[in-house]
Amino acid sequence: MTVNKFIRNLLNLKELSVTHVELHARKRTLDLWVKPYKNGCLCPHCHRRGRIVRIMDECRLWRDLTLYGCMVMLWYCPKEIMCPTHGRVQENIPWADDYARITYRFEYAMLVYCQIMSQKAAAQMLHIAQSTLSDLLHRSIERIRDGHRIRDLKAIGVDEISYCKGHKYATIVYDIKKACVVWVGKGKGEKTIDRFFKEMLSDYQKRKIKWATCDMSQAYINAIENHCPNVTLILDRFHIVKKLNEAVDEVRKEQWREASGDERKTLKGLRWLLYRHSSKRSKKDTWILNTLRKGNRRIHRAWVLKDEFEHFWDYKTHWAADRFIKRWTTTALKSRLEPIRRFVKTIRKHMHRILPYVETRMTNAVAEGLNRIIKIIKNRASGFRTLEAFTDLIFLTVGDLNIPEQIPKDFRTI
């Protein structure tokens, strides 16, 4: 076996041939002079062979993965060729992107490591400075995502996150079906989400959106319904339940403020019992709440209405759920509990956005799950100075484009 073949097999080098080797033991550096293997002088755009015009005077340098603590460097003098279609261009470099200083293999390892660990840990594993890795990482993500378009978007979710101190927010749009992030925009509110629909989607794509989920923010509701003519908007179940729990808790607070010292002892510790779902309560908890029938009828009435509303989520047909919600709202309005009455007005206002849940079972749970991953990304980096850097890491980890898979298949090795 020749030295050339041995090194190519040892380092798993593809698409290139080794012409010369130098090992610097003191510097822990392995220099390899290489050239394209059987496919040189190809146009980088159309991959047609061209006539050599000039050979570069100085060799270019690419960094490859570290081997047993030894830094591997590739050296080559690229050629300028005359392509029949694209004119005078630099020949295609099969092991790296145009004008890059790292190989595809190094780039793939960097992207995969940064998906699962902090940039500091990835820099230590790749034996480079953290600032250098950060610069290379964001350049790679921007290059790979350049020109990427959103495709096959049928169900979207909208939510917001805080990315920095000082009430700085970002709006995130999710693909509910594929469980990924498709867009991140600075700010929150209707103007921000309008930018997504105007800049990122065509009229045809807007018509293709069939379902959308969001919280009870009127800004998101208006933007989605204004831009998507065929959409069925479904308000998130979690936020509706949260709104009802807040109404019940407001009743408890009112009674607490009106109660005397002895009466407050019977009301103490009720907050979390009232929040608890019926399936999570013990018999003792239910007994305590039932004693309120004599101790405080207003809190007991609010709790009974809350427990009855839980049955709405179990319905399977639209007509049955519609009949239930109308009966429940009528009963709740007669309760003479002002916080509950305000909740009923909200329910009646959004009735056509709540009932579709019964048939679709669609919620914002996917978006909330992705939000948890996004928070992990932020905590892993101990925060980001700019939204652009944060956005790149979001797209790398939970984006709609699998960025490491865009590296040529032959170089996806670690």
pLDDT of residue 339: 93
**Across 288-312, average pLDDT:** 87
Q: How confident is the model at residue 385 (pLDDT cuts 50, 70, 90)?
A: confident
**Across 390-397, average pLDDT:** 94
Using CA atoms, how far residue 293 sits from 266, 279, 296, 298, in Å, is 12, 21, 6, 8
290 vs 317 pLDDT, higher one: 317
pLDDT of residue 268: 80
**Across 61-69, average pLDDT:** 88
Residue 253 pLDDT more than 80? yes
**Across 213-218, average pLDDT:** 88
Q: At residue 393, what is the residue type?
A: L
Residue 396 pLDDT more than 80? yes
pLDDT of residue 382: 82
Q: What are phi and psi of 236, to 5 degrees?
A: -65, 135
| pLDDT tens-digit readout, 178-190 | 999 999 999 888 8
Prediction pTM value: 0.86
Alpha-carbon dihedral 5, 7, 12, 15, rounded to 10 degrees? -60
Residue percentage of the chain with pLDDT more than 90: 49
| pLDDT tens-digit readout, 113-146 | 999 999 999 999 999 999 999 999 999 999 999 9
Residue 5 pLDDT more than 80? no
332 vs 384 pLDDT, higher one: 332
Q: Which fold has domain 155-236+363-383?
A: Nucleotidyltransferase; domain 5 (3.30.420)
pLDDT of residue 1: 64
| pLDDT tens-digit readout, 315-373 | 999 999 999 999 999 999 998 899 999 999 999 999 999 999 999 889 888 888 898 99
Q: How confident is the model at residue 211 (pLDDT cuts 50, 70, 90)?
A: very high
Residue 391 pLDDT more than 70? yes
> Could you tell me the residue ranges of all domains in the chain?
1-101, 155-236+363-383, 237-357
pLDDT of residue 313: 93
202 vs 383 pLDDT, higher one: 202
Residue 213 pLDDT more than 80? yes
Please give the mean pLDDT across all residues of the chain: 88
